[in-house]
Amino acid sequence: MGDYTPGETPIDATGLRVAVVAAWFNGGVTGRLLEGAQAALRDHGLPEAPVYWVPGAFELPVVAQRLARAGACDAVVCLGAVIRGDTPHFEYVAGEAAAGLARVALDTGIPVVFGVLTTNSLEQALDRCGGSAGHKGVEAAVTAIETAALLRTLPPARKD
């Protein structure tokens, strides 16, 4: 881990539009991630983000893609929790969700932040929602703000 601390650099978040896509599967965990994300947005002077609920992490990319393509937001924070079980389902869902969200960001030029916990247990997930391992919901929102703010300062993308 480097020396950088999120929020360390002054960020001009004025006018940024952030949306949240959240998975209701493992909703107790996702709800905590959402609380942290909304608090981070408020702490940066932004209104609470609209929240679009999907059944699970696998469905996050398609909704994030629609929001990004519609120009409805400057960044999308995707939240959820995929907890390992006894079958390979974990690998499929976690891998496809991550790949799908990365593809949406690259295809649209809109930051799409992977705030999906991939843990071996519920306890590990809860530790990452304000427990001993920090708050990944806060981190996801700050990442979205910082990336969207940075993109505003860069030259526009060329149309090839």
Active site residues: 89
Instruction: Count the neighbouring beta carbons within 10 Å of the beta carbon of residue 131.
Output: 13
CA 36/CA 141 separation, integer angstroms? 8
CA nearest 45: which of 20, 8, 18, 6? Answer: 18
- Burial class of 72 by CB neighbour count within 10 A (0 to 12, 13 to 18, 19+): middle
- Gyration radius of the chain over CA positions: 15
Dihedral sign, CA of 55, 60, 61, 63?
A: positive
Residues 17 and 74: beta-carbon distance below 8 Å: yes
**Distance, CA of 55 to CA of 62 (rounded, Å):** 12
